[in-house]
A and B are shown apart, each in its own frame.
Chain A
Amino acid sequence: MPVDTEKEISKMHRTLHSTQTEIGKTYYRWRKVAIEFAGENTKPLDVALRAAEVFGRDIGKSLLPRMNWLKGEEGFLMNLAGALAGLWNTEGGLATVEKGENPAEIFIKCTRDPWPTWAKEYGAPMEEIALCRERMYQTILEDVGVFMNVPLKIELQKAISRGEGETVMRLSKAG
């Protein structure tokens, strides 16, 4: 039986999108539970930021085996930025990496982000998405920076509002 390549690819594509969507929705289902358990005196944003730290800590650990200084500082920063953009893409975003004018400065640009859609569906505020992304990346960089003995910094420079436009983050050496 010959393979209908188009059909097979579309099947895989559908599975990938369903998986991404289900993971995103699962995050918001758990967010709801966590906020309920945290009680009325806790701000939902604080709960979400704490979750971002937990994610960041764990993802940071998984990046350490691949950290490599053999290509020097610029190569290291480009690889790291690539890993952060890749993380976004795995979630269903469309992120790319661009060198800045300064060699120790890299921009991560995301032109498509699925998170606002899911946030809207579950009634979470849009600004939480950008802040959590920034916190998660900052936490990742804490371990990576100590590991490689390079102080690192990442800042949110521009955020997508409601999934349109471009989110820009700047990765650089701190200090």
Chain B
Amino acid sequence: MPKTLFEWDYSDYPGAKKYPHLFKPIQIGNLIVPNRIKYAATEENLNGHDGFVTDAGVEYLRQRAMGVVGGLCFMQGVYMDEKRQGQGYVGQAAAWDDKFIPGLKRLADAVHEQRAVAGFQLMDCGRVGAVEVDYCHGPSAVPQRLRIFKPVQEMTKDDIKTMIQQHIDAAKRGIEAGFDIMEISGIVGYLISNFISSYTNRRTDEYGGDIRGRMRAVVEIIQGVKKVCGPDIPVGIRLCSEELLDDVRGNTPEESMESYKIAEEAGADYISCTLGWQESIYPVISRDIPMGNWIHLAKRAKEHVKIPIQMAYRLFKPGLPNEKIGAGELDIWEICRSMIADPHMPKKVAEGREEEIRHCVACNLCLARLFRDAPMTCYINPVCAHEWQPDFANPKPAQEKKEVMIVGAGPAGLECAYMAARRGHEVHVYDKRDEIGGTLNEAKHAPYGDDELWTCTEYQKVMCEKAGVHFHLGTEVTEELIEEEMPDTVVLATGPVYSKIKAAGGDSDKIVYLLDVMSGKAQVGDSVVVYGNRKPGIGCALYLAKQGKKVTIVGKEKSAGFDVNPSFKWRYMIYMRQNGIMVYNDCDIQEINEEDLIVRSYDGVRWPIKCDTVVVSERGPNESLKKVVQSEGIELFVIGDALIPRNLSSAVHDGYRVGIRL
């Protein structure tokens, strides 16, 4: 008899009318899930290094549980071996002993308090594990492609039996902790996927060979876990629908689909359809991949198995998953990064508040942090991983109401504005431009998905309007205006100042500035040198190269894009090569002439580059108005690029932090 844990009636939710397929129940095994929304298990490095659950982890999950409005909410995958070979993240939760059960129970309880279905995930990280020990383990000792990972030890048959038992024992602990649904992680290079892949499983015994042999350990795990779960707790598995490892002779798509069928035969109650490996050379989830790019794989999976199919992967907005569920091509919309950026994202969809969603910009900073043993951070959501700190996540109203003048309606200024206004201050935002968004107005024109950055401004605009922020657009703030208004506080969020080229010919009329180029105001010749090798310079270079121009980047940093997180930087490197952009790092411009300019390397070698336009993307802090405000004795904050030119994330985080302090 199917079981319903929590009754949900979505008839009064406007989002349920707009997206009816997302808010209808589904049966998984013998469990009725009220809707088609799942927060997918996500590592966040918030647990103790000994594997115990922390307050930070509990509050993080509680917010996501609130977000799924009765749907599935999975805790991060647990590692299951005391030797910690399966541990892939320093802050990964453990379940190798009963002593972890009380902490795990806190997570299950937090999800249940929100009347959501609590999911428990078993995750031995395999060849990407052993973060705290010297060797990870796998079916075969295939050397690591990426140096960041530890050497692999081949598992003996006894090791495999032990590993299978560890999954079963950990599942028992999950059940005891109160979880409602069990999931086995078999993706992106973790142990289960290592067994399944022809790339990493070279065994000649019964755990290797053809796809059936390579699935044997997986089948034994599914069957063992099913046995302890009984009929009421469904068991699912996350499996690669395409490994994208054809360059190293990984599984074919046909083999992957065969693995789906075998998992279903073994008793899996659902499959979460994934793709790609950490060792794959193909991008899967970064901003340059169009939304919905992979959804056809869910449809293909459904053609091979009868059990429900779930999928995430660049499905950030509700329309497409709703449509695909309606068409029978998908069963459950999985969400991961979108709920890192906004934990209440699906709740806002349900409540008809889509305009209040803070959208993920697919930068992969969250991943980059995890791989570098740092706690989860979101590029765009300053509260992420601070949910357990009420003063930070939900700051109290201000004790004293102030009149706040914010100079600059870019991402730093807007973030600060609505937070301050929400806390009771009277906030006035000034900008000499006629529109809000600051330099994002120009940055959004860069290719490869940078238009998604604009979602930040759209969100901030709505939040400012709701908080009652007053806008004074087309108004340049001057000394006189400050003296006239005499606010209690001034926040300078004026953006950066573009650098002057300190070289002979630095006043040449062939020099233009990045913002004028990106907005189409400046004329640009066919041979262009972009001065500055950080993110803005790269974005501008790609924008110009896409127009067919011959572009060279000259920059003082030792590596181009050093300010871009490593999980995204590699994409830029490839795109620059593909677009024929020459990059000279560790160099400066020495001289600008009629026909060319002279580049000088750090060690004094010089060479000419033919160019008819030089685009300046180098930036410095903006000191204007600072002295005026200080001389008036007004409380002053400087945020965003005006303080130190960095990136969108720093602007948003600066704005938030000052907004909650005022």
Output the least CB separation between A144 and chain B (Å): 8
Given A3-B608, A61-B147, A65-B146, check contact A146 B141 (CB 8 Å).
yes
Q: Which of the segments B19-27, B33-41, B241-249, B540-548 contacts the partner chain?
A: B241-249
Structural contact, B607 and A69, CB atoms closer than 8 A: no
A105 CB, nearest partner CB in chain B, Å: 21
Question: What's the Cα separation between A70 and B604 when bound, in Å?
Answer: 42
Question: Whole-angstrom distance between the alpha carbons of A36 and B145 in the complex?
Answer: 36
Residues of B within 8 A of A65 (CB): 145-146
Contact assessment for A64 and B247 in the assembled complex, using a CB-CB cutoff below 8 Å = no
Given contacts A3-B598, A3-B606, A8-B606, contact A70 B247 (CB under 8 A): yes
Q: Using an 8 Å CB-CB cutoff, how does the interface string of B132-171 with A read, 1 for contact, 0 for none?
A: 0000000001111111000000000000000000000000
How many A-B residue pairs have C-beta atoms within 8 angstroms? Tell me: 52
**Are A147 and B605 neighbours in the complex by a CB distance under 8 Å?**
no
Contact: B143 with A5, CB < 8 Å? no
> A146 contacts B605, CB within 8 Å?
no
- Name the distance in Å between B578's Cβ and chain A's nearest Cβ: 17
Bin the interface of chain A by size.
20 to 34
A62 to B147, CA, bound (A): 8
- Least CB distance from A94 to B in Å reads 23
Determine if A3 and B607 form an interchain contact, defined as CB atoms under 8 angstroms apart: yes
B492 to chain A, nearest CB (A): 40
Q: Chain B: interface residue count, which band?
A: 20 to 34
Q: Are B606 and A149 in contact (CB under 8 A)?
A: no
Do A146 and B603 form a contact, CB below 8 Å, given A3-B608, A70-B246?
A: no
Report whether B598 and A146 are in contact in the complex, using a CB–CB cutoff of 8 Å: no
Whether A69 touches B605, Cβ cut-off 8 Å, given contacts A1-B591, A146-B143, is: no
**A6 vs B605: C-alpha distance when bound (angstroms):** 11
Q: Among A15, A60, A62, which residue has its beta carbon within 8 angstroms of that of B603?
A: A15
A1-B591, A70-B247, A149-B202 given; A8·B143 CB < 8 A = no
Residues of B within 8 A of A15 (CB): 603, 605
A43 on the interface (CB 8 Å rule)?
A: no
Contact with A along B239-280 (1 / 0, CB 8 A): 000000011110000000000000000000000000000000
Contact B145 A12 (CB under 8 A): no
User: How far is the CB of A56 from the nearest CB of chain B, in Å?
Assistant: 13
> B145 contacts which chain A residues (CB < 8 A)?
64-65, 67, 147
- In the bound complex, how far is the Cα of B469 from the Cα of A68, in angstroms? 56
- Is B605 in contact with A67, judged by CB distance below 8 angstroms? no
Nearest Cβ distance between residue B291 and chain A, in whole angstroms?
27
- The contact of B144 among A3, A5, A64, by CB within 8 Å, is A64
- The B-contacting residues of A in range 58-107, CB under 8 angstroms, are 60-62, 64-65, 67-70
CB distance from A73 to the nearest CB of B (A): 11
The residue of chain B having its C-beta at the shortest distance from the C-beta of A144 within the complex is B143
Other-chain residue from A5, A60, A143, A148 in contact with B249 (beta carbon distance below 8 A): A148
Q: A147-158, CB under 8 A of B: which get 1 and which 0?
A: 111000000000
Q: Kindly identify which residue among B199, B202, B249, B607 contacts A8, using a CB–CB cutoff of 8 Å.
A: B607
Whether the pair A12, B143 counts as a contact (CB closer than 8 A) is no
Q: Which of B143, B144, B147, B246 contacts A69 (CB 8 A)?
A: B246
Complex CA gap A107/B202 in Å reads 29
Q: How far is the CA of A67 from the CA of B246 in the complex (A)?
A: 11
Taking the nearest CB of chain B, how far is it from the CB of A53, in angstroms? 15
Name the residue on B nearest A62 (C-beta): B147
Give the residues from 213 to 256 in chain B that come closer than 8 angstroms, CB to CB, to chain A: 246-249
A75 CB → nearest B CB, Å = 11
Complex formed: what's the CA distance from A136 to B247 in Å?
25
Q: Which residues of B contact A147 (CB under 8 A)?
A: 142-143, 145, 248
Bound complex: CA of A148 vs CA of B145, how far in Å? 10
Contact B591 A8, beta carbon cutoff 8 Å? no
Q: Judge whether A64 and B143 touch: CB under 8 Å.
A: yes
The chain B residue with its CB closest to the CB of A64 is B145
A146 and B591 CA atoms in complex are apart in Å by 52
* Shortest distance between the CB of B336 and any CB in chain A (Å): 26
Contacts of B607 in A (CB 8 A): 3, 5, 8
Min CB–CB distance A57 → chain B (angstroms): 10
Contact of B143 among A1, A3, A61, A68 (CB under 8 A): A61
Could you give, for residues 93-116 of chain B, a 1 whenever the CB lies within 8 Å of some chain A CB and a 0 otherwise? 000000000000000000000000
Residue of A nearest to B608 (CB): A3
Question: A residues within 8 A CB of B605?
Answer: 8, 11-12, 15
Q: How far is the CB of B486 from chain A (nearest CB, A)?
A: 53
- Measured in the bound complex, the distance between the Cα atoms of B252 and A69 in whole Å is 13
Contacts of B504 in A (CB 8 A): 1
- Are B248 and A148 in contact (CB-based, < 8 A)? yes
A174 to B246, CA, bound (A): 23
A residues 124-175 touching B (CB-CB < 8 Å): 143, 146-149
Which residues on A sit within 8 Å (CB–CB) of B146? 65
CA A146 to CA B145, docked complex, whole Å: 11
Q: Which residues from chain B contact A69 at a C-beta distance below 8 Å?
A: 246-249
Cα A147 to Cα B141 in complex, Å, equals 9
Q: How many Å from the CB of B566 to the closest CB on chain A? A: 14
Residues of A within 8 A of B591 (CB): 1
The chain B residue sitting closest to A11, CB to CB, is B605
Chain B positions within 8 Å of A12 at CB level: 605
Assembly CA distance A61 to B143 (angstroms): 8
**Interchain CA distance A112-B142 in the complex, whole Å:** 35
Kindly name the residue among A3, A64, A70, A147 whose own CB sees the greatest number of chain B CB atoms within 10 A.
A3
Alpha-carbon distance A65/B591, docked complex (angstroms): 39
Rounded to whole angstroms, the CA-CA distance of A62 and B143 in the bound complex is 11
Among residues of A, the one whose C-beta sits closest to the C-beta of B147 is: A61
Contacts of B147 in A (CB 8 A): 61-62
Q: A3-B598, A3-B606, A3-B607 are in contact. Are A68 and B247 (CB under 8 A)?
A: yes
- Digitize A2-45: 1 where CB-to-B-CB distance is under 8 Å, 0 elsewhere: 01010010011001000000000000000000000000000000
Cβ of B529 to closest chain A Cβ, rounded Å: 15
Q: Which residue of B lies closest to A67 (CB)?
A: B248
- Can you name 9 extra interface pairs (CB under 8 A) apart from A3-B606, A67-B247? A8-B606, A15-B603, A61-B143, A61-B147, A68-B247, A69-B246, A69-B248, A70-B246, A147-B248
Closest 6 pairs (CB-CB, A-B): A68-B247, A143-B143, A64-B145, A147-B143, A3-B606, A70-B247
Mind listing 17 A-B residue pairs with CB under 8 Å?
Answer: A1-B591, A1-B598, A3-B607, A3-B608, A12-B605, A61-B144, A61-B147, A62-B147, A64-B144, A64-B145, A67-B248, A68-B248, A69-B246, A70-B247, A146-B143, A148-B248, A149-B202
Which residues of A approach B to under 8 Å, CB–CB? 1, 3, 5, 8, 11-12, 15, 60-62, 64-65, 67-70, 143, 146-149
Interface residues, chain B, with chain A CB atoms under 8 Å away: 141-147, 199, 202, 246-249, 504, 591, 598, 603-608
